[in-house]
Structure 1
Amino acid sequence: MQHPNFVEFQVTGEYALFSDPIMRVGGEKCSYQVPTYEALKGILSSVYWKPTLIWYIDAVRIMNQIQTEVKGIRPIHYQDGKNDLSYYTYLKNCRYQVRAHFEWNENRPELAQDRNEYKHHNIAKRMIEKGGRRDIFLGTRECQGYVEPCVFGEGTGAYDALPELGFGLMVHGITYADEAYSPETQGKMTVRFWHPVMKRGIITFPRPEDCPLTKSLREMEMKPFGEHLENFSGLREFGEVE
């Protein structure tokens, strides 16, 4: 069933780096073959975000053939400021169709007065049309991305004829304290894992609470917002906080 607050958009970029954390231990970076839930959520949050709501990524459609390119990078040492040599494996010529929706953040009862579904849905759609409020990145800062409206499922994708393809164990995303969905995730930062399967070019994501594997990383406190939204100074002039 499609959520009434859904949005659809296409994100493109010359390169992407959705890092596999296992490959970063030795200083190298290697991208997953497909974007993670958290990376797509971050893209949509750059387009439009408010603490009043939580974005849920429903599905992604892989439009272009999965290709990689290895680049020699000279990152800077944290300890002495000197250069090192590493090899980063990027995805190239990326294009994805995304469907998502938002729900109210029940961990933020102090923002209940801002729960105007019509307002937030229409602002989000306008921001997609304008390409987003902030810069869009595909996994990392050096991979610039571009967002535009689309109809999910339209056009020809590279994997439309492929019945099924699994990608093994992947990171789904991170649950922060202000988006906790259970007693186990309250007051903590929790990482989620799952086994994605692409069917006819489409990967359908489970909700965060439905991920089969989770691991608590550390304790975390929620950022408080005052009764009169002191942390939203300046937003009233845009008509986004009433």
Structure 2
Amino acid sequence: MSYGIKLKVWGRYACFSRPEMKVERVSYDVITPSAARGILESVYWKPSITWVIDRIHVLRPIRFDNIRRNELSAKLPLTAIRKAIKDAYSPVEIFIEDARQQRAAMVLRDVAYVIEAHFEIKQGNEDNSSAKHKDMFERRARKGQCFHQPYLGCREFPAHFELIEGDIPRSELEDEKDLGWMLHDIDFANNMEAKFFRAIMRDGIIEVPLFNGEEVRG
């Protein structure tokens, strides 16, 4: 049995990076299902359940901004981390001045979404009380509690959230728009393969197919 929830999320900026852009960051037009799942998991995560995104409501018009961001051009080498673990005193560090890199980014501005989703109990788990999980999620969402601050694609773009217990606010968008192929999620059980689906937005609503559905392509 699955239980559904509705969560409104919004923020000043968002960036859901297209994987085909290798250097400069360019955002999808709207939040991806994988980013929506990450927001739900930041509010309530348990190893015995899996979040499934059913529908995404885009409440505000799609607007883009061009900004420049500081990023690191390097990452910590695995050998340095292993050495620090082994001897307990070797430094684990990157000096920003030596690895700073400015990159342009096309990000979304003034976004607001409603995520419709449900969770499924993983087989073989003793912690299988769906009503308990739903109540715990709703209680945490009402109080604004989270395991870590949810974000809109990048950690520097925090997401505000609130539980929707009544009707979903009406979108400002109308008509139908083909958003092209969009990242659905990563298949962690199959060599980290990226999965995509054709995102069609109708009156601000995107129906998200099942991850294993025939509409989803690798």
TM-score normalised according to structure 1 size: 0.76
Aligned to 1:163: 175
Taking the TM superposition and a 5 Å limit, the aligned residue runs for 1:120-139 are: 120-133=133-146, 134-139=148-153
Q: Are 2:31 and 1:35 equivalent residues in the alignment?
A: yes
Residue 93 in 1 paired to residue 110 in 2? yes
Q: Is the 8 A contact 1:37 1:205 kept in 2?
A: yes
Q: Which amino acid aligns with 2:154?
A: T
Residue in structure 2 matched with residue 173 of structure 1 by the alignment: 185
Greater RCO structure (CA 8 Å; 6+ sep): 2
User: Counterparts of 1:147 and 1:34 in 2: how far apart (Å)?
Assistant: 16
Q: CA deviation at 1:4?
A: 5.2
Residue 89 of structure 1: how far off its partner (Å): 1.0
- Identity level (%): 29
Give aligned pairs, total: 196
The verdict on how the C-alpha distance between 1:213 and 1:204 changes in structure 2, with shifts beyond 3 A counting, is: closer
Q: How far apart, CA to CA, are the structure 2 residues paired with 1:149 and 1:209?
A: 28
* Offset, 1:212: 3.5
TM normalised by structure 2 equals 0.84
Any idea what SS the aligned residue of 1:209 has? coil
Q: Which moved more, 1:146-155 or 1:162-171?
A: 146-155
1:167 is matched by which residue type in structure 2?
Answer: L
Shift of 1:39: 0.4
Match of 2:161 in 1: 147
SS of residue in 1 equivalent to 2:172: coil
- Compute the displacement of 1:153 (Å): 5.2
Aligned residues of 1:52 and 1:115 also touching (Cα < 8 A)? yes
Instruction: Give 2:213's aligned amino acid.
Output: D
- Choose from 188, 192, 208 the match for 1:189: 192
Q: Does 1:105 align with 2:108?
A: no
Q: Which amino acid aligns with 1:170?
A: M
Partner of 2:132: 119
Residues 22 and 152 from structure 1, CA distance in 2 versus in 1: closer, same or farther, beyond 3 angstroms? farther
Contact 1:166 1:197 survives alignment (8 Å): yes
Confirm or deny: 8 A CA contact 1:190 1:214 kept in the other structure. no
CA distance in 1, matches of 2:25, 2:16: 9
1:193-216, Cα deviation, whole Å (9 max, x unpaired): 11100011100100100153544x
**CA RMSD across the alignment:** 1.8
- Residues 138, 114 of structure 1: alpha-carbon distance in 2 compared, 3 angstrom cutoff: same
Give the aligned partner of residue 64 of structure 1: 60
CA deviation string 1:109-157 (max 9, x = no partner) = 2xx2111112111001111112241211001111100110125753332
Distance 2:18 2:145 in 1: 26
- Equivalent residue for 1:16? 14
Q: Which stretches in structure 2 are left out of the alignment for 5+ residues?
A: 76-94
1:150 is matched by which residue type in structure 2? I
| Residues 60, 111 of structure 2: 8 Å contact kept | yes
1:78 paired with 2:81, answer no
Gaps of 5+ in 1: 178-184, 216-242
Which of structure 1's runs of 4+ aligned residues deviate more than 6 A? none
